[in-house]
Amino acid sequence: MTCLLILPAWAQTTITGTVRDAEGNSLPGVTVQLKGTTVATTTTNAGTFSISAPPTGILTFSMLGYGTQEQNINNRSTLSVMLESTSELVEEVVVVGYNVVKKSDLTGSVVSINSEDITAMPVQNPLQALQGRAAGLDVTSNERPGEMGSIRVRGERSLLASNSPLYVVDGVPLSSGGIEFLNPKDIESIDVLKDASATAIYGSRGANGVIIVTTKRGVAGRTTLNYSLTSTIENLRDRTEMMDAPQYIEFRRNAYRFIGQYPDEPNKERDEAIFGGDPYAWSNIEKGWVNGQWDGSLVSTTDWGNYVTKTGVTHDHIVSASGGNETVQAYGSFGYLKQDGTQLGQDYQRYSGKLTIDIKPKDWFKMGAVLNTTFGDQNYGYATTNATGPGNLYMAARGMLPYAVPFDNDGNRINLPGGDVNIQNPILEADFNVNERHVWRNFGNIYAELEPLKGLRYRINFGPDYYNNRNGRYMDANSVNRGAGEPGSTNYAQLNQTMRFSWTLDNLIYYDRSFDKHNVGLTLLQSATANRTETSTMTANNLPWSSQMWYQLNSVDQLQGFGSNLVESELTSYMIRGNYDFDGKYLFTGSLRWDGASQLAAGNKWDVFPSMAVAWRLDRESFLENQTWINSLKARVGFGVTGNSAVDPYMTLGMLTPLYYAWGGIVEDGYVNSDPSLANPLPMPNKELGWEKTAQINYGVDFSLLNNRLSGSIDYFTSRTTDLLMSRAIPSINGFTTTWDNIGISANRGVDISLNTVNIAHENFSWESTINFTHSKDRIVELQNGKLDDMGNNLFIGQRIAVYYDFEKEGIWQDTPEDLAEMEKFNANGHEFTPGTIRVKDLNGDYVIDANNDRKIRGHSAPNWNFGFGNTFTYKNFDLNFFIYGRMGFTIENGAESLQGRFSQRVLDYWTPDNPTDEYPAPNYNSFSGDPYRSAMNYQDGSFIKLRNVSLGYTLPRNFTDRIKLANLRIYAQAMNPGLLYSKVDWIDPDTGSSIFNRGVVFGLNIGF
C-alpha cells in the first residue's frame, strides 16, 4: 500500500495489522487514516494494512456500510481491528404491513425468524423452518418429496372457509398459493403478524394471520460470493410392527374359529382350504407342516416393504453473490435441489433463481426489482385411486400377506399373492404408475419511490405472479389401480393443466415528521389485485402404446373425459394508517382499511376493517430508569377487525348446470339453475352474502432483562368471529338443497410465549436457548340454529371446531356370568353382542346403543399447545445445537381395526377364549368391515415430543482460511429425526399422522469467498 502524502517530519514507525468484520471475515478496501492528517492507506484483499505513524498517534478506520472506529497506537507495532456493520449498529427492525419499524416501537404482536434459524436445518421449503420456532404457529409435517404440511396462526377460526394465513413476499401480498417456491437460503427474515391490530392492515386477507417474507438483497460496501452444499442420506422407518407369517396364520385361524369353521388345534386340510388360493403362498405355509405336526417357525415371512423402499439421497446446492455501492446494490443466486424419496417412484427436483437490484441515482429517487423463479419437477409416486386405499407405495406393500411371495419361480409378478382378488400385488407399481407434476412459478416485485419533500414519500409497487402446473398421470394396465393385469384391465392417461396469473398494484404515500418529543407518521394506500385461473383436463383409456403416456391422447377414438374452466376474481382496497409516539415512551398505531371483493354479492362487496394499538415503554420511565437489571420493558394492547371472503367466485351470482333430455332416440342437452337430484347440486345464490369478520384483542409484554441475558415476549389474546360463512340446508322445493349464508359465531383465546436466554457466556464457551410456547383454544358459540348443535356436521356449541364425535369403547364383552347377563339385556333390544365383541358405553342407560343418545365428543384434531426448544453450545470454533418440538393435547384418528383375518394386520392384543383381553375384539372372518362399533377404538392421544435434529459444526480458523484465500469455511453434520422422546402411541408417528417417517444424516459445507 502507498501513503497519499509525504509524512510529517516527526519520528515515525510502521504500523501493520488486519481489519475484520464481526464474523471474522477480512475486510478489503477499509480506509486507514492518521487522525488530524491526510496520511491514509487502504486494506488489501486479505484485510491487511501498513502505514507509517508516530507511536502516540491515533488511527481512524472507516468503510461504507460499517461503523467508524478509532485506535490509539500506544507504541504498538501491530493492530487487530474489528468493524461492526452499520446494520448491526442500528436497532433491530421488524417488517409490518407496508412498512418497517424498530422492534422497540412495535405496538402489535409480531414474531421474527432470521436467516440463521431458517437454515439451521436442511429444509426444502420455508414452512419446514417455522415448525416450533415461532410462538403462535402450528406447523405439521409432510414426508413426501415436494409436498408441504399445513400451517395455522393462533388456531382455527372459520368452520368451512380457509384458515390458511396470507403470505407477503417483499412487500407484495400473494393472491394465491404459498411460499414453497422460495429457496429457504434466499430468505433474509420471516415476520409473522399474529394479532388483529397488526393484520388488519391487510383487511379481508389478514383474518388468519400474515406471514411476511423478506428475501436477501445486495448490501453497499462489500462484495461477497458464497456457496452452500448440504447432502442428506435418509431411510424410511416404520413404527408399526406387522404380524409375521406364523402370527398371521394363527390370526386367520382364530378368525375362522370365531365362526366355528376351524378346530381348536392346527389342521392341515383346513389350512389348505383357507390358505390354498395361491399355490406359491401355500407352498410356503406347507413348510410348517412336518410329519403331521405344525411348526410355524419354518414358514418364512416376506419383507414386502423392502421391495419398494430405498435410501433417499438429497443434494441441495446454492451459489449467491451480492454487493454494491451507495448508488447500486444487487443480489443474485442460483439453487439446485435433488431430493430422492425413500420410496420407489418418489423424487423431486427444483431449480431456483433470484435476482434483486436496487438503484438510487438521486437522493430523492430510488427504484428496484426482484425476480424469483422456480421450476419444480415432482414424481409424486404411487397413490391409490380408491378413496379408502393406501396413500403411498409403502403402505400398499405393507398391506400384502406376510406368508405370500411377490414373484413365481420364473420371476414373474404374482398379481394376486395369497389368492385374494382384493389383495393385488403393488410390487413394480413404480414402473406402472407415473404421476409427474411440473410447476413453474415466477414472482416479481417492481418498485419506484420518490421523496419530493423531506419526510414525504410516494411509492408504487407492482407484483406479478405467474404459476403454471402441468400434471401428467399414466397408469399401465398392469397397475393395481387398473386391474393388476387381470382380465379386463386397461391403461389410463390423464393430463391436467392449470395456469394462474395474478397481480397486485399498490400506490403508497408516506409522511413522517418529528418535532420536539413528538414523532408522527401517516400511510395512505390504494391497492388493486386481480387473479385469473385457467384449467383444463383430458382423460383417456385403452391407449395403443404405453410409451405415449399423456403426450398423444388423440391416439384414441374418443376421450374418456375432458373439460376446461376459467375463474376470475378481483379485490380493491383503500387504507389509512397513523403512527404517533411521544418521547419514545407512549406509542399509538391506528388504521382503517376498506376492501371490496368481487365474489361477494352486490351491496355487500365492501366493508371496513379498523384496528388500533397502544404501547408503553416502561423502561424509559423515571421510576425504572435506574433499575440496571431491566434493559427494556414494554406493555402492549391492541384491537382489530379482519375479514374473510373465502367463498368461490360466482357463488353469489348463481350458475347453470347441464341437464340432458331424451326425446325417443335423441338426447338433447339444456341448462338449469340447479338439479337437486345430483350428488352435489349447485347451491342457491345468496344476494345477501357478506363478510365473515374476526375481532381480536391482544395484551402483550416485551422484555429484555439481566443485561439482555433473558429476553422475550408474552401475549394473551381473545378473538370472536361473527357471520361465519356456512352452507345452510334449505327445502329442495326451491330447486336447491343448500345455500351459503353468514350464520354462526366462533371464539378463540390463548397465550404465546417466546423466551431467549444466554445461559453461559465466556470467551471460549457459550450456551444459548430459545423457547417458544403456544396455547390456543377455539370454540363454537352459535350455529345456523342458534344454540342448537349440528350433529350431522360434528359441530357443537361450546366445543372445539374440529372434533371427533363417536361411541366410547368401554372394553370387550367377556364370557363371564356378569357380562353374559348384561349382554342379554342389550340383545333383548335387538343387539347381537357375544363374548369377544366391542362393548361401548351406554350413556343414557337404556340398554340400547344408538347414534343419537350414546355418542360423545372423543377429542379434537388441533393441539391445546405446542412448543419448540432449541439450544446452541459453542466452544472455540465448534458449535453444537439440538432442537426439540412438541404438540400436546390433540387426538389422532387412528387405531380402529376390522380384524376380519383376511388382510394384513399389525401386531395387537386381540380377544380369544384363551386370551380374554379388553384391548381388541376377536377376529371374525364373516365380518368384512369389522365389529359394528370398531370406530370407537379410533381415537388416540396424539401428544408427542420429538428430537427434531442434532447438529455439530466446525468453522475453520481465520489464519487457515486466509492462507487458502477464503473468507470463511464451515463444515457440519446433523442427525435428522433421531426419535420421539415422548408419545402415548407406539404404532404411529403423531407428527406425520402416519406410522412412517424418514430418519437420516446430513453433511453440509458453507464457503465464503
* Residue among 439, 533, 436 at smallest CA distance from 494: 436
254, 446, 829 from 921: Cα distances, Å = 11, 65, 22
Please check whether residue 499 lies inside any domain of the structure: no
Q: Is the predicted pLDDT of residue 88 greater than 50, yes or no?
A: no
pLDDT of residue 8: 41
More confident residue, 334 or 92: 334
Query: Is residue 75 located within the same domain as residue 98?
Result: no
Same domain (yes/no): 212, 109:
yes
Which of 211, 180, 189, 193 has its CA nearest to residue 119? 189
Structural domain includes residue 102: yes
Give the pLDDT confidence score for residue 842 in this predicted structure: 96
Pairing assessment for the beta strands 13-21 and 78-83 based on DSSP bridges: parallel
Closest by alpha carbon to 944, among 329, 402, 141, 272?
141
Same domain, 179 and 124: yes
Q: Please provide residue 381's backbone torsions phi and psi, each rounded to the nearest 5 degrees.
A: 90, 180
pLDDT at 263: 95
Q: What is the pLDDT of residue 391?
A: 85
Q: What is the pLDDT of residue 92?
A: 63
Within 364-440, residue ranges assigned H as helices are 393-398, 429-432
899: left (phi > 0), else alpha (psi -120 to 50), else beta?
Answer: left
Mean pLDDT estimate for the chain: 88
Helix H or strand E encompassing 891? strand 891-893
pTM of the complete model: 0.83
Do 21 and 123 share a structural domain? no
pLDDT at 171 exceeding the cut of 70 = yes
What region does 994 belong to: left with phi over 0, alpha with psi -120 to 50, or beta? beta
pLDDT in tens, 420-445: 988 999 999 999 999 999 999 999 99
Domain shared by 30 and 74, yes or no = yes
- Cα separation, 119 vs 862, in Å, equals 27
Q: What percent of the chain has pLDDT over 90?
A: 55
Does residue 527 sit within a domain? no
> Both 42 and 108 in a single domain?
no
**pLDDT of the residue at 646:** 65
- Arithmetic mean of pLDDT, 458-486: 92
What mean pLDDT comes out for the span 183-190? 87
Q: What is the pLDDT of residue 67?
A: 78
* Of the candidate ranges 30-39, 492-501, 534-543, the one whose mean pLDDT is the lowest: 30-39
Average of pLDDT values for 653-670?
Answer: 74
| CA distance linking residue 699 with residue 108, whole number of Å | 9
Q: Helices 268-275 and 279-286 sit at what angle, rounded to 10 degrees?
A: 150
Question: In the listed set 24, 50, 82, which residue is the last one of a domain according to the structure?
Answer: 82
Please tell me the predicted confidence (pLDDT) of residue 157: 67
pLDDT confidence of residue 146: 66
Q: Please tell me the predicted confidence (pLDDT) of residue 89.
A: 42
Provide the 3-class DSSP secondary structure of residue 128. helix
Cell of 301: 415371512
Query: For residues 901 and 254, is the Cβ–Cβ distance under 8 A?
Result: yes
Determine phi and psi for 587, rounding to 5 degrees: -120, 140
Residues 114 and 172 in one domain: yes
DSSP string, 70-93: EEE-TT-SEEEEEEPBHHHHSPPE
Q: Dump pLDDT digits (tens) for 347-377.
A: 999 999 999 999 999 999 999 999 999 999 9
Q: Say how far apart CA 560 and CA 490 lie, in whole Å.
A: 12
For residue 172, give the nearest of 518, 461, 582, 429 by alpha carbon. Answer: 461
- Residue where a domain stops, chosen among 218, 252, 275: 218
Least confident among 27-31, 789-793, 854-858, 887-891: 27-31
Is it the case that residue 6 has pLDDT exceeding 70? no
Q: Angle at CA 719, nearest 5°, toward 713 and 721?
A: 150
pLDDT of amino acid 184: 86
Does residue 5 register a pLDDT over 50? no
User: Given this model, what pLDDT does residue 286 score?
Assistant: 95
**Residue 787 backbone class (left: φ over 0; alpha: ψ -120 to 50; beta: rest):** alpha
Q: Residue 914: pLDDT band by 50, 70, 90 thresholds? A: very high
Pairwise CA distance, residues 181 & 798, whole Å: 39
Whether residue 406 contacts residue 304, with contact meaning beta carbons closer than 8 Å, is answered with yes
| Whether 205 and 162 share a structural domain | yes
Whether residue 23 lies inside any domain: the answer is yes
Contact in structure between 599 and 650 (CB atoms under 8 Å): yes
Which grid cell sits at 784? 345456523
Encoded amino acid at 705, one letter:
L
**Of the listed ranges 54-68, 345-359, 738-752, 963-977, the one predicted with least confidence:** 54-68
- Indicate the number of domains in the chain: 2
Residues 376-391: tens digit of each pLDDT: 999 998 888 776 678 8
Evaluate if residue 873 carries a pLDDT over 70.
yes
Please tell me the predicted confidence (pLDDT) of residue 209.
Answer: 83
351's grid cell: 431449480
**Percent of the residues in the chain that have a pLDDT greater than 70, as a whole number:** 95
992: closest CA among 209, 438, 240?
240
- Strands (E) located in 583-724: 586-597, 606-617, 630-644, 657-663, 666-672, 692-705, 710-722
Given a contact cutoff of 8 angstroms between Cβ atoms, the answer to whether 129 and 117 are in contact is: yes
Q: What share of the chain is helix, strand, coil (3-state, %, to 5)?
A: 10, 50, 40
Residue 123 lies in a domain: yes
Please classify residue 516 by burial: count the beta carbons closer than 10 Å to its beta carbon, then call 0-12 exposed, 13-18 middle and 19+ buried.
exposed
**Residue 136: which CATH number?**
2.170.130.10
Average pLDDT for 85-92: 55
Highest mean predicted confidence (pLDDT) among 203-207, 616-620, 790-794, 991-995: 616-620
Q: Give the number of other Cβ atoms within 10 Å of residue 563's Cβ.
A: 10
Would the pLDDT of 548 be above 60?
yes
- In this structure, the answer to whether residues 97 and 190 fall within a common structural domain is yes
pLDDT of 417 above 50: yes
Give bridge partners of residue 853 from the DSSP assignment: none
* Phi and psi at residue 649, to the nearest 5°: -55, 150
Closest by CA position to 337, among listed 145, 190, 128: 145
- Residue 149, domain member (yes or no): yes
Domain-located, residue 130: yes
Alpha carbon distances (Å) from 509 to 102, 463, 524, 693: 20, 18, 5, 28
> ∠ CA 240-244-250 to the nearest 5 degrees?
120
> pLDDT-based confidence at 716, cuts 50/70/90?
very high
Contact 319, 226 (CB under 8 A): yes
Determine the pLDDT at residue 441: 93
Query: How far is Cα 156 from Cα 860, in angstroms, rounded to an integer?
Result: 12
Residue 24: CATH number of its domain:
2.60.40.1120
Cα–Cα distance measured from residue 206 to residue 164, given in angstroms and rounded to the nearest whole number: 10
Cell digits of residue 72: 490509539
CA gap 605, 643 in Å, rounded:
12
Read off the pLDDT of residues 606-634 as tens digits, 9 standing for 90 and up.
889 999 999 999 988 888 878 889 989 99
pLDDT of the residue at 713: 94
Greatest alpha-carbon span in the chain: 119
Do residues 56 and 109 both lie within one domain? no
pLDDT of residue 4: 36
Residues near 100 by Cβ (< 8 Å), separated by ≥ 6?
Answer: 93, 94
Mean pLDDT across 328-344: 94
pLDDT at 452: 94
Contact of 556 with 539, CB cutoff 8 Å: no
Q: For position 824, what pLDDT does the model report?
A: 96
Q: Is 737 exposed, middle or buried (0-12, 13-18, 19+ CB in 10 A)?
A: buried
Spatial separation of the C-alpha atoms in residues 435 and 380, rounded to whole Å: 5
pLDDT for res 503: 94
pLDDT band at 266 (very low <50, low <70, confident <90, very high): very high
Strand partners, 471: 437, 496
Which of 682, 596, 590, 598 lies closest to 643 in space, CA to CA?
A: 596
In this prediction, residue 288 carries a pLDDT of 96
**What is the predicted pLDDT for the residue at 387?**
62
Confidence of residue 962 (pLDDT cuts 50, 70, 90): confident
Q: How many CB atoms lie within 10 A of CB 96?
A: 22
Quote the CA–CA distance of 376 and 871 in Å, as a whole number.
Answer: 34
H or E stretch at 805: strand 803-806
- Are 105 and 207 in the same domain? yes
Q: How confident is residue 65, by pLDDT bands cut at 50, 70 and 90?
A: low
Counting Cα atoms < 13 Å in the Cβ hemisphere of 200 gives: 31
> Among the listed ranges 25-39, 322-336, 979-993, which one has the minimum average pLDDT value?
25-39
Q: Could you give the residue ranges of the DSSP H alpha helices within 811-913?
A: 817-827
Domain boundary among 218, 241, 270: 218
Domain that holds residue 131: 93-218
At residue 80, the pLDDT reads 87
Angle at 139 between CA 193 and CA 941, to 5 degrees: 130
Grouping H, G, I as helix, E, B as strand and the rest as coil, residue 834 is coil
Q: Residue 15 — φ and ψ, nearest 5°?
A: -105, 125
pLDDT greater than 90 at residue 818: yes
In a domain, 48, yes or no: yes
Closest CA to 53 of 67, 74, 82, 30: 74
- Please name the residue that has the C-alpha cell 369353521: 261
Nearest to residue 608, comparing CAs of 201, 235, 894, 301?
201
60 and 155: one domain?
no
Residue of higher predicted confidence among 152 and 979: 979
Q: What distance lies between CA 999 and its chain's CA centroid?
A: 19
Which set of grid coordinates corresponds to residue 377? 419437477
Cα distance from N-terminal residue to C-terminal residue, the chain: 22
